[in-house]
Amino acid sequence: MNTDLLVIDLIHRASLLNHLLQTNNPPSDQETDDIRRLLCNIEEHIKTQGHGDAFDLASNHLEDLRKACRYALSGLRRLPVELISYIFSQVMGDPLDTRRWDTLNVTKEPWTLAQVSSSWRAVALAHKEIWSHIGTDLTVISYRPIPTVEMLLCSLLRSGNHTLSIKFREADTRTSRAKELLFALFAHSHRWMDVTFDLSFQCFDLLNQVRGHLPLLRSLALVTTGAVTSGTIRAFEVAPLLRDVSLDIDHPCTLLLPWSQLILVDIWRIHNFKVLHNASEVVDCSLTFDRWYEVAPSVPIVRLRKLRRLEVDSEQPLNGLEAPALEDLHINYRFMRPSALHHVTFLLYRSSCSLQSLVLSRVSLASESDIKPLFESTPSLKYLQMKTVVVDWGVLHHLLTISDAQCLLPNLDTLKLVIGENPFSPSSYKPSLLLNMLESRSYAAGRDGFTRLESIALLDLPYPLSSKHLARLAKLEQLGLHVEDDTRLEEPRKVPPVDPWAWNRNVRGIGIWRS
């Protein structure tokens, strides 16, 4: 066949397949065979032309058609609908992760998933879950269009009857737009499941409109600035499935909640434990107390009989708590503060609990008399972590050393010490005393019910261990001691159950916004 006629024939055959070559639509079996034959003929023609001939417009066009045929035959075009749907779910990510949530931006997922091809669009529109993640931050608008009510209504329509996970942050300068979006969300409150609102006080009162219309709500996070104008928010008073609450508001008492059914509570700017006096079922609790908190001896003690994990930013309020089931405790001061830890000790004696793990962060301990009573009050302790603390490490190592006259924390099997620089007592860190302690807890194992230390983490050491000390440490490793240090960081083998929840608040909805 004449070369020119052959090129015209190839281009004509390709034009019959434009609905595939110029889109991302998947070909049928017959169309796949047609594309393969076309591709084979195009490649044969290009090969016969040789590299010496100058490429004209027709040759360039054939090269483009060859690429288009190869793209059309890609396996990605023929993925099963179920697999595409699964991929879409993974692209949307975890509903609790706010960093990826900008779902009212048409230049991002899930909108772009419906713009790849007709088949992908069909899958995306049928996938109610990916439209049920409603997230927007009105404070970040410089690089994208401002969300409109029409976009929100479209997402709500495409989500069908699927439960809704909502992340909504208002900007003070866009209160009117925020109200429009909120009113659209209120009409679907019967589908709310996991909800985070960061609102000004002008919008906060509007939440009362959803009272009695929250049958599926299970997780709630609220942040507000300024005073609540109505005095009391009753929006979430009736929510039969609500179990998880996170609050950052000036006066938590102004918010009526079904406290008796809550299991996980995270509150910032709390005044005292009185807020939780009806939280009889709470298991996990993280509290940041108001900076004006003052010890009030007359405050009645709140008994939380099921509380197992607790994080607080001050030990003083613990004088108002009794927790007989407490297992994990984290004293996490926001700033370095001196502490005698006696409120912790009194809590443990008062509660008669079997504490399993204790983490102390940014605490300044003055003397042995501060630490020893605490260790004596918790013989059940298995995990101890001290991070960014000011302490006489020599005293600490002495108290943890097992001898005939002393056996504190007999069940301790994991110890994590983040030592760092100590400007107040730079000479208190002595590796020899540390090794003495570790050896005593390894060689004395089995004596009178004593537990062998299984794991030690030594991080941010002021200076490296000497060869002599490393040799002693190596012998302990041969006995089975797991060692983690600055040169061989690993995932902790034993992390208290509370760690993934309270120690890293960024996994929670408002943690990222607050930070």
pLDDT digits (tens, 9 = 90+) for 280-310: 999 999 998 876 555 555 568 899 999 999 9
Q: Please give the Cα distance from 429 to 397 (Å, whole number).
A: 9
Residues 117 and 239 in one domain: yes
Residue 55 counted as domain residue:
yes
227 in any annotated domain: yes
> Phi and psi (nearest 5°) for 504?
-125, 90
pLDDT score at 446? 60
Domain end, chosen from 62, 78, 94, is at: 78
- 180, part of any domain: yes
Q: Which of left, alpha, beta for 61 (phi over 0: left; psi -120 to 50: alpha)?
A: alpha
Both 203 and 126 in one domain: the answer is yes
Coil, strand or helix at 112: helix
Residue 501's pLDDT is: 39
Does some domain include residue 23?
Answer: yes
Q: What is the pLDDT of residue 422?
A: 56
User: pLDDT value at position 195?
Assistant: 95
Residues 99 and 167 in one domain: yes
Q: Are residues 227 and 104 in the same domain?
A: yes
> Which of 232, 257, 282 is the last residue before a domain boundary?
257
Q: Are residues 223 and 110 in the same domain?
A: yes
What domain range includes position 74?
Answer: 3-78
pLDDT at 489 (0 to 100)? 59
In-domain check, residue 396: no
Q: What is the residue-level pLDDT of the chain in tens, covering all 515 positions?
A: 567 777 777 777 888 878 877 777 778 788 888 888 877 887 777 777 755 454 566 677 788 888 888 877 777 677 787 888 888 888 776 655 545 557 888 888 888 888 887 788 888 899 999 999 998 888 776 556 778 899 999 999 999 999 999 999 887 666 688 889 999 999 999 999 999 999 887 788 889 999 999 999 999 999 886 655 556 888 999 999 999 999 988 766 678 899 999 999 999 878 778 889 899 999 999 998 876 555 555 568 899 999 999 999 888 888 889 999 999 999 887 655 566 688 899 999 999 999 999 998 877 776 788 789 999 999 999 999 988 777 778 888 889 998 888 889 999 999 998 877 655 454 567 889 999 999 999 887 566 678 889 999 888 887 888 899 999 999 999 988 998 887 665 554 444 444 443 444 433 433 433 33
Confidence (pLDDT) at 327:
94
Q: Would you say 21 and 69 are in contact if contact means Cβ atoms under 8 Å apart?
A: yes
Instruction: Identify whether residues 10 and 86 lie together within a single domain.
Output: no
Both 47 and 136 in a single domain?
no
Identify whether residues 44 and 182 lie together within a single domain: no
Tell me, yes or no, whether 84 and 73 share the same domain.
Answer: no
**Domain assignment of residue 317, yes or no:** no
Whether 431 is in a domain gets the answer no
Q: Are residues 92 and 205 in the same domain?
A: yes
- pLDDT given for residue 117 in this prediction: 77
- How far from 348 is each of 128, 341, 358, 368, 411, CA to CA, in Å? 49, 11, 12, 19, 16
Residue 338 lies in a domain: no
Number of domains in the chain: 2
Buried b (16+ CB within 10 A) or exposed e, 332-356: bbeeeeebbbbbbbbbbebbebbbb
Q: Please give the structure tokens belonging to residue 371.
A: 């630490």
pLDDT at 214: 97
Query: Which pLDDT score, from 0 to 100, does residue 497 have?
Result: 44
Looking at 63, 78, 93, the residue that finishes a domain is 78
Contact between 168 and 131 (Cβ < 8 Å): no
Residues 104, 233, single domain; the answer is yes
Cβ-contact 297, 324 below 8 angstroms:
no
Tell me, what's the pLDDT at 428?
Answer: 66
Angle at 214 between CA 213 and CA 218, to 5 degrees: 180
Q: What is the pLDDT of residue 514?
A: 39
What is the pTM assigned to this prediction? Answer: 0.78
* Domain match, 161 and 88 both: yes
